[in-house]
Amino acid sequence: MARRLPSLNGLKAFEAAARNESFTDAAAELFVSHAAISRHIKELEEYLGTQLFTRTGRGVELTEPGTRFGAQLTPLFDQLADAAREAAAVGDVRSLNVSVEPAIASRWLVGRLGRFNDLHPDIELNIDPTSRLVDFYADDVELGIRYGLGRWEDVEAVKLSDVVIFPVCAPKLIKDDGAITPAGLSEYNLLHEDRKQWWAEWLIAAGVSGVEDWRGTTFQNHLALEAAEAGQGFALGDQILCTDSLLENWLVRPFTFDMKDHGAYWVVRKKGSRESAPARAFREWLMGEVVETNRKFQQFKAQHLKPPSK
């Protein structure tokens, strides 16, 4: 007897939205639009004849039937994923070469790779941390993780995350100074990356005057954040590179102002190339990890930050 099942896309959309309690996060995880998630869930509700979510001014909330359905569905998807991994694991080991900017490699990616290896033991990752833009036509690399505007030639770029920038420092640097204000940065060493204008841009965006933005030490790549963790001054970081350190209290951010950066993090591959199964698995895993990092950052802000005084 044939099974009567709703659309798999609808089930995937609902399970992700129920687990994340957000249509937006579900869309990012599944690499589809917010409208697609909403449409799939509406079709599923019509199929089931019951409302799974209530729409509120601030987002969505699960109904009682939605809560029960989500609690049953997530373990089923977990079992399906386990079955797929078990089936894949019996085959030949497949390799995937990935080029990654050093900052995101060392401060974010490396500490998470164990989770990917557990999920995909049949995929052998080769990570190349380099600031050089990989040439997909000449190099034996299938994917890259880059930071920028996403306008590179001859590549297909999928956005991983927008970026907000904010000052950070070691807790010990300001523990005796009470509530520091942005204007008080004039009393501290500013730590720069090779683009010194970032401090100038942040101070202007925050409406801060009287701070000499050119002062301080210049570092390559992410070493300014390492210096900040060592208590050498204030550096500018973003939510992807700094959330782990904020949660561990290796860094603090004394001000609530975030500057939206023009750049973003992207996963890229050769233009017109067919995405292999290992590349797709890695990209989808990356998307989920980035969504989780952004969720933790927003939660951290809500729990730890107070309105600033200038």
253-276 pLDDT per residue, tens: 989 889 998 889 999 998 888 888
Domain boundaries, the chain: 8-89, 94-162+263-297, 164-260
pLDDT of residue 134 exceeding 90, the answer is: no
106 Cβ partners below 8 Å, 6+ apart? 129, 222
Phi, psi of 222 (to 5 degrees): -95, 10
Mean pLDDT, the chain, whole residue set: 86
- Entry pTM: 0.70
Is the Cβ–Cβ distance between 233 and 189 less than 8 Å?
yes
Is the Cβ–Cβ distance between 142 and 276 less than 8 Å?
yes
Write down the CATH superfamily of domain 164-260.
Periplasmic binding protein-like II (3.40.190.10)
| Local structure of 197: helix, strand or coil | helix
Counts for the chain of helices (H) and strands (E), in that order: 11, 10
Q: Could you give the CA distance from residue 182 to residue 79 in angstroms, rounded to a whole number?
A: 50
AA identity, residue 35: A
Q: Could you give the CA distance from residue 134 to residue 270 in angstroms, rounded to a whole number?
A: 10
Query: What's the pLDDT score for residue 181?
Result: 86
Q: At what angle do helices 8-20 and 64-89 cross, to 10 degrees?
A: 110
Highest mean pLDDT among 57-71, 74-88, 123-137, 279-293: 279-293
Is the Cβ–Cβ distance between 254 and 136 less than 8 Å?
no
Q: Could you give the CA distance from residue 193 to residue 223 in angstroms, rounded to a whole number?
A: 8
Furthest-apart CA atoms within the chain: distance in Å: 77
Query: What's the pLDDT score for residue 85?
Result: 63
**8-89 shares its CATH topology with 94-162+263-297:** no
- Domain at 8-89, CATH class: mainly alpha
Query: What's the pLDDT score for residue 247?
Result: 95
Query: What's the pLDDT score for residue 113?
Result: 94
Q: Could you give the CA distance from residue 132 to residue 123 in angstroms, rounded to a whole number?
A: 25
AA identity, residue 15: E
Domain 94-162+263-297, CATH: 3.40.190.10
| Arithmetic mean of pLDDT, 221-246 | 92
Q: How far is CA 282 from CA 109, 120, 131, 265, 278, in A?
A: 12, 9, 20, 15, 6
pLDDT digits (tens, 9 = 90+) for 143-163: 999 998 888 888 888 899 999
Query: What's the pLDDT score for residue 310?
Result: 42
Characterize 150-166 residue by residue with b for buried, 16 or more Cβ atoms within 10 angstroms of its Cβ, and e for exposed: eebeebebeebbebbbb
